Amino acid sequence: MSKLILTRHGQSVWNAENRFTGWVDADLSKKGISEAQKSGHLIKNLNINLDISYTSYLKRAIKTLTTILQENGIELKFITSWELNERHYGSLTGLNKEETKKKIGEEQFKKYRRSWDISPPPMKEDDKNHSLFSPLNANIPLGMIPFTESLKNTYERVIPYYQKEIQKHIKENKNILVSAHGNSLRALCKYLFKISDEKINKLEIPTGNPLMIEFDNDLKINKYYYLDETRAKTIIFNQ
């Protein structure tokens, strides 16, 4: 039986400042480091082998992963992929969320944040935040870097990558760890749990609390649960 563990990175510095972060390569805050360590402890308590690990091009996810691996005494070998990056927030990148809500109104704010297929206005080519993106982005194929994304756009890069690169290891009964982001993990959970376009806006992915998903030999989900039950969020299944 294969196990897939999904963990959202710990709080970043920009998370703490309540800013739209997206593709900006913000580092973990002190709280984020602590959350990553807690994730590592929770996984260690499972007493299982982790065969392969994946993360994005963003340091907050990479540091969360390396912290978890160190807590478990595992060699720092893992696969990075831009397809697992956080959703690109376009021209909202860097803006304070509360100030933005007041400026554009709560209804439009919710559409940008939680709708399935509505993207914020694109980031301009001369936006200063481009300089804050990960240097690993230089490895992204020409023309593939977005200027804004909806959750649907994020889904359209996450799921093909999962199907091509990660799912094969599940078929081999490997135990897999993915350290990624709120929206890239929401996209993956939408696919795995068959969540409808209308219901996906209700799915919350907590920080510092890994989600365990166990598959049977037919790649069907046999069991799923958060490792810290006291901070678990509701998983929407097939709705």
Q: Among all residues, which ones are annotated catalytic?
A: 9, 86
Question: In this structure, which amino acid lies at residue 209?
Answer: N
DSSP secondary-structure letter at 210? P
Closest CA to 61 of 110, 104, 3, 22: 22
**Residues facing 129 on adjacent strands:** none
Residue written as token pair 């969020």: 233
127 close to 92: Cβ distance less than 8 angstroms = no
| Distance of alpha carbon 158 from alpha carbon 7, whole angstroms | 15
Number of other CB atoms surrounding residue 232 within 10 Å: 13
In 3D, which of 116, 122, 123, 199 has the Cα closest to residue 156? 116
